[in-house]
Chains A and B, each alone.
Chain A
Amino acid sequence: MSFGSTGDWWALFAHFGAMSMLAIGGAIAVAPEIHRYVVDERHWIDDTQFSAAIALAQAAPGPNLLFVPVIGYAIAGLAGAAVSLLGILLPSSVLVMVVTRWGRRRRESRGVRAFVAGMAPVTIGLLLSTGLVLSLPMARLPAAWLLIAATVLLALRTRLNPVWMIAGGAVAGLAGIV
């Protein structure tokens, strides 16, 4: 775990900049790739910190993409949070502003329809991958698998606000069950 050279700062910005352009279907879909890079390849943070960042962002109000600055914060403090947030926002935002009017006129065209329909299954596969990547570090804890399965069932079968499930998970953790 070492971070600090100028090259590291550029790598951090460039990584989240690339994620910005790959995030079709939400920021959470690129979580497995962020995990591969910052945890497995660079060793800037560990599995626990990564999972904590996602959990904190889900527990707080606001868009899910805020797990990105939390990961940046874990890597390099407030400056890390700023650089990673700027990285995930800047490239796609500029593109959106440029392409919006073009896309509004073309949404029924063959190209746009092919793009949407072709990318949809990839997006869903990436979401399931995110769930898997977050679950595997807890593989040796049967209670955690039970908690994950219960959450999936509750989310599919009820309209319970997710904040109560997160709170339930926190209580289970505090009680030492997980």
Chain B
Amino acid sequence: MSVQPAPRSAGELFRVFSVLALQGFGGVLPIAQRELVERRLWLTREQFVELLSVSQVLPGPNVVNLALMIGDRFFGWRGALAALAGMLAMPLVIVLTLAAVYARFASEPLVAGALRGMGAVAAGLIIAMGLKLMPTLARSPLGRSPSLLVMAATLALVGVLRWPMAYAVLGLGGAAVIAVWWRLGRPE
């Protein structure tokens, strides 16, 4: 039986999470999976999926939850804070530097144009992410059509009518959760 490798210190956790966050253009999750599971072997694929699914159930940004749970697994609170700090520190410095430069030159037509172009692409990337996830609804215990209905109602309320999001999350989400609970409880 081989011993599973583990980080030697909270400092190493910080360094590894810094390095993987800096490689994450347009999403850190795939990089985290490659680095932690395939390269360093700190987690098996099953452990990673398990942590990821718990991180998605809980509120809060997913990658933040994942960093907290992986850090906690090795060094408790210290590890959680080290992993979180690693994930955020360097990218935060970079993005705030960009924001400061942008604020200074925002009135320049060239800068405004470039940001408008980047904004359009950012919108497209987010729409694509939503479309890519839609097929997963077909396997939902809620059922395909009810799931798509809840999704469309959320889009209409929040995206089109601009209602406060709490209504959609608590109302539509709450109703969907109760419906699944009821379906799962029925005898097969």
A interface residue numbers (CB < 8 A to B): 18, 20-28, 30, 32-33, 36, 40, 48-49, 51-66, 69-70, 73-74, 78, 81, 85, 88-89, 91-93, 95-97, 99-100, 103-104, 107, 110-135, 138, 141, 144, 147-152, 155-156, 161-163, 165-166, 168-178
Give bound CA distance, A177 to B120, whole Å: 12
A147→B28 CA distance, assembly (Å): 24
Question: Could you tell me if B154 and A122 are in contact, using CB atoms closer than 8 angstroms?
Answer: yes
CA distance in complex: A100, B79 (Å): 14
Q: In B91-118, which residues have CB < 8 Å from any A CB?
A: 91-92, 94-96, 98-100, 102-103, 106, 110, 112-118
Q: Which residues of B contact A123 (CB under 8 A)?
A: 133
Interface centre among A95, A96, A107 (most CB of B within 10 A): A96
Comparing B1-9, B33-41, B144-152, the segment that makes contact with chain A is B144-152
Contact of B92 among A66, A113, A172 (CB under 8 A): A66
B60 touches A62 (CB 8 A): no
1/0 per residue, CB under 8 A from A, across B129-170: the answer is 111111011001110000111111111001110101110110
Name the one of A33, A118, A127, A175 contacting B164, with C-beta atoms under 8 angstroms. A33
Interface residue tally on B, bucketed by range: 35 or more
Interface SS of A by simple majority: helix
CB nearest to A176 among chain B residues:
B113
Asked if A124 contacts B130 (CB within 8 A), the reply is yes
* Nearest B residue to A33, CB-CB: B165
Q: Which of chain B's residues have a CB closer than 8 A to the CB of A113? A: 141, 180, 184
**Is B65's CB under 8 angstroms from A96's CB?**
yes
Contact of A147 among B117, B149, B159 (CB under 8 A): B117
Q: How far is the CB of A49 from chain B (nearest CB, A)?
A: 8
Q: Which chain B residue has the least Cβ–Cβ distance from A21?
A: B59
Contact of A63 among B61, B114, B120, B150 (CB under 8 A): B61
User: Given the complex of chains A and B, what is the CA–CA distance between A59 and B95 in angstroms?
Assistant: 9
Given contacts A61-B91, A103-B57, contact A32 B114 (CB under 8 A): no
User: B168: which of A58, A63, A126, A166 is its contact (CB, 8 Å)?
Assistant: A126
A162 surroundings in chain B (CB, below 8 A): 25-27, 125
Given A58-B122, A124-B133, residue A173 in contact with residue B113 (CB < 8 A): yes
From the candidates A20, A28, A59, A150, name the one contacting B60 in the complex (CB within 8 A). A20
B64→A89 contact, CB < 8 A:
yes
Rounded to whole angstroms, the CA-CA distance of A85 and B21 in the bound complex is 17
Chain B residues with CB below 8 A from A112, complex form: 57
